Structure 1
C-alpha cells in the first residue's frame, strides 16, 4: 500500500515534470567529504523550470555555503538530511570571509519543500557544541556565527523547513507573496548552555502567511523587521526559552525611517519563554509601525507576557549616548483574548549575561507578576492601543500587575487598562 507521504511526493514530482524542463537529483558522497560542490553544480545547472531533489535516505555534507540567487520556477525538494560542519573554527573562518548565510536562495516562483516525515529532511547545524563556548566568549555568543538560511522570493513557498540545533539565526525571509507552513526549529539545549540568538523566522517581506509552525528556541520565534507589510502568523506553538512574537528591533540607525504595517498574530501557544509579545525600538529612532495585533494567545510559564519598550538597546551596547529626541511611532496596536500563566517561581532565562540583566534594565522593582509592561518614550508616541479580555495570572496566585508609562488616555481611548504602575484592573 502506498503511504500518503510517498503519494504526496509522487504528486509533487508529477506536477513538476509537467511544468518543468529539468529534474536534478543531487548526488551524495555517502562519506565524510563535502557535497557542497555537487549541490552548487546542480543548483547552477537547474536554476530554471526545474525540480532539484535531495533524496530521502541520503545525508549531504554541506561543508561550504551554498548560494542560488537567480532561481526561476524551481522546487527545492529536501527529502534527505543536510549536515553543516562540526569544526567550529572552520565555520568561523568561512563566515569571517564574508559568507553570512550558509544557504542563500533568491528568485521568482521558488518552493522549498521539506519532508513531512519527522525522521527526514532536517538541517543539522550541531549548534549544541557552540552554545557552551558562547558563555566562555563573554556570554552572548562566539564571533562569526553563521545565519542558517536566507529566502528571498517573489512568489515563494516553504513547507517542512526543519532545523536541528542551529548555531544561531535560522530563517530570514524577504520578498513578496510568501507562504510558510509546518516549519520546525529545535534549539533546546541538552545541557546548561543557552542557545543565544537562535531566532526562528525573521520576516522583512510583504504579503506573508505563516502557519502551523513549532519553534523552541532562545530568541525571537517570529521577528518582524523593517519593511514588513501584510503579515499573518497563526496556528503555531512556540516555547522553551523563546523571546516570542516580536516587532523589531527598529530604530538602531537614527538616520533611517523604519516602517512596518498590518501585522497579525493569531492562535498562538507560548509554552515557556521570556516574552510572548514584544515590541522593541531604540531611543532616538525614527519610523512608523501601525496596525498590529496579537489575538487568541495561550500562555504557560512566561516571564513577561506583554512587553513594549521604545528605549531598547542590544545587550552590551548601551544607548546612553544616543540623543533622546525621537521615537519610532506606534499606531493601532491590539492585544485581545489572552489566557495563561506568568512565571513567578523561576523568572528570566539564560540570556542574562550582564549586571543588571538586560531585560530588567529600567525596571528595578519587578515582582514578576507583571502581565503587561508598556514603556512609551514620549507622550504621543503610542496611539490607539487596546487591551481586551486579558486573563493572565501569576503562578503564585498573587494579583497580576501592570507597568504603564505615557500611554495617555486621550490618544488611547480604548486602552482597556488604567495606565499606571499597580494592580491590573480591566476597564
Structure 2
C-alpha cells in the first residue's frame, strides 16, 4: 500500500482532473440560431456573434434540423476559437438576383456570403441526412440569363488554423464555392457540391475548392460543377486532394499563376485517385505569359477519365482568350515548373467531331488550341528553358471515335525524357513513360 501522502496526492490529482472536466463541459455553449418565418435569419446570428454572448469560443452554433433558414444577408464570423458551426437544417439564399447584386456592390460586403475571418480549431459541419443540411444558392436563375456580374463567392474559410469542413451539401450555388485562403491544417471531407444546370445554360465559375494555404487534405468529396473541381493557387504548399469524384467541370487545376508578372510559389501538391467524368480537362496547369516564380513537386496520380477532351494539359503561355488574341509578349520571364508527374491516367478522350463544351461563348472557343486535332491525351505548351523533370507515365487512353491517340509537344522546350515522343503527332510512350527509366 502506498504511503498516505502518496494516496492523498493521487486523490488530489484525480479530483483536479474531475473538476477540470466538469469546468470544460460546463463552459461549452450551444447557440441555436433562431428562425422567423418570412424574415431574414442572418441578423440574429450576427448580433449574437458581436454582442459578447460567448459563442465565439468553446461553442456550437447550430442551425437546427427541420428548419429552413433564410440567409438573405451575408454572415461574417469573427475570430473563432474551438467553435463548431453545424448546419442540420436547410439554408436558402435570396431568390431575387437584384437583391444579391445590391449587396455585392456595397462597400461593406466581404466577398463571400459566408465569411470565416480567422481562428483556431474551427469546424464547419453539415448533415448526413439526405433531406437536411442543404444550402440552396438558387443559381439556376443566374445561369439561365447568363448573369455573371456582381456575384458573391460562397464560403470563405480564411485564416483558420486547424479547421474541418465536412458533410456540407451545396445545391445550385451561384458561383465559387469553398476557398481556404491563408488557412493551415485543414481537413475537408465528405462534402457534396451540385452545380448542375437543368437547362442548356452553363453554371459558369462554380469552382469546387480553391486551395490557398498550407497543409490541407481534401478527400471523399463529390463535385458536379462548371469550373475547376479543385484549383491550387499561389502560396499553397502541402496540398493533398484524393479519393473524389468530379463531373462536368474544368479539371484538377494548378493556377493560374504569374498574372501580370507576379511571383508564383506552389509546392508539394498530390492529387490522386480521382474520377473525372464529362469534364473539359483532367489534369491542368496554367501560368500566364510573362509570369515569375516556381511551381514544384506536383503529382497527379491514378486518374480515371471519361469523355474528357483534354486529359493532360500544361500551358505556360496562358492569356485571357476572352479579351483578344494571344499577346506578343516581349518578356523573357516565365513561371518555372519542376518535378511534375502524371502517373496512371486511364480513360476515353472526347474527340467527337463538332463537340462544343458549354462554357464556349466565342469563336474560336476560349479553350481552343491552335493545331490540335482533338485526339490529344497530352498537350505540353511549355516555355523554353523553364520546365524541368516533367514526366507522364502509365498513360492508357483511347478516343471515342476509335482514331489513334495523339500528343502535342515541342522537343525544344523540354530538358528530359517526358515519357513519350515529344512531337505533334502520335502518342508513342518512351522508356520513362513505361516506367522503365
TM-score, length-scaled by structure 2: 0.88
Q: In the alignment, does 2:122 pair up with 1:122? A: no
By how many angstroms is 1:118 displaced?
A: 2.0
Counterpart CA distance in 2 for 1:169 and 1:405 is 35
Query: For residues 45 and 119 of structure 2, what CA distance do their matches in structure 1 show?
Result: 17
Which of residues 369, 375, 378 in structure 2 aligns to 1:372? 378
CA distance in 2, matches of 1:281, 1:20: 49
- CA RMSD in angstroms, aligned pairs only: 1.9
1:18 corresponds, among 19, 22, 25, to: 25
Q: Alpha-carbon deviations, 1:227-246, whole Å to 9, x = none? A: 11001000000012x10100
**Conserved 8 A contact 1:60-1:81:** yes
Change (3 A) 1:85 1:217: same
Aligned to 2:338: 331
TM-score, scaled to structure 1: 0.90
Contact 2:346/2:397 (8 A) holds in 1: yes
Q: 1:166 aligns with which of 161, 164, 173?
A: 173
Aligned to 2:224: 216
- Structure with larger Rg: 2
SS at 2:44 equivalent: helix
Q: 2:267 aligns with which of 257, 261, 272?
A: 261
Q: Bigger CA drift: 114-123 or 319-328? A: 319-328
CA-CA distance at 1:380 after TM superposition = 1.4
Q: Distance in 1 between matches of 2:23 and 2:88?
A: 15
Which consecutive aligned stretches of 4+ in structure 1 deviate over 6 angstroms post-superposition?
14-17
**Contact map agreement 1:347 1:368 (CA 8 A) in 2:** no
Q: Does structure 1 residue 193 correspond to structure 2 residue 201?
A: yes
Structure having the higher strand fraction is: 1
Where in structure 2 are there 5+ consecutive unaligned residues? 1-20, 431-437
Q: How far is 1:316 from its partner?
A: 1.9
2:398 maps to 393
2:433 equivalent in structure 1: none
* CA shift in 2, pair 1:72/1:15, >3 Å: farther
Distance across 1 between alignment mates of 2:220 and 2:27: 29
Q: Quick check: 1:283 aligned with 2:286? A: no
Give runs of aligned pairs for residues 398-417 of structure 1, distance below 5 A.
398-406=403-411, 408=413, 411-413=415-417, 415-417=418-420
- Superposed displacement of residue 19, structure 1: 8.2
Say if 1:303 and 1:348, in contact at 8 Å, map to a contact too: no
Q: Give the superposition deviation at 1:116.
A: 1.2
1:155-174 CA distances to partner (integer Å, 9 max, x unpaired)?
10110121100111111112
Give the structure 2 partner of residue 101 of structure 1. Answer: 112
